[in-house]
Amino acid sequence: MYCFRCGNFMEVRQGGLYCTVEDMYVSKALERALLELKTCKTGNTRADSAPRAYGWYCPWCATPLTKASSDGRQFKCEGCGLELGRSESLPIIELHPHRK
């Protein structure tokens, strides 16, 4: 799975997902919620030159996400069609600070 904040591949450490670039663990609750979402259909991976779209990336294919709602709490991946709703985006904003 890719980090939703930087787009880099996350490692499994101490039984959880960890982003080495952003120095952040993903909570088990968010990890379960992301795993329950639709998986990537295409297997696309982003190009290194891909622009940051609102600073969020698809956890399945690392494509920059686009806003799917005017309030900025719902996102969609143009690469694989994954949709992050409020129930997934709020824990990302509130519970997953990045140290870098």
pLDDT score at 18: 92
Which has more pLDDT, 4 or 54?
4
List the domain range (segments joined by +) for residue 25: 11-95
Query: Is the per-residue pLDDT at 73 higher than 80?
Result: no
pLDDT score at 89: 66
How far is it, in rounded angstroms, from Cα 5 to Cα 57? 6
Q: Is position 17 within any domain?
A: yes
Q: Is position 69 within any domain?
A: yes
Instruction: Provide the domain count of the chain.
Output: 1
Q: Is position 77 within any domain?
A: yes
Query: Is the per-residue pLDDT at 40 higher than 80?
Result: no
pLDDT score at 92: 65
pLDDT score at 98: 53
pLDDT score at 91: 61
Q: Is position 21 within any domain?
A: yes
Where in the chain does DSSP place strands (E)? 11-13, 16-19, 24-25, 65-67, 75-77, 83-84
Q: Is position 6 within any domain?
A: no
Q: Is position 68 within any domain?
A: yes
Query: Is the per-residue pLDDT at 20 higher than 70?
Result: yes
Q: What are phi and psi of 95, to 5 degrees?
A: -115, 0
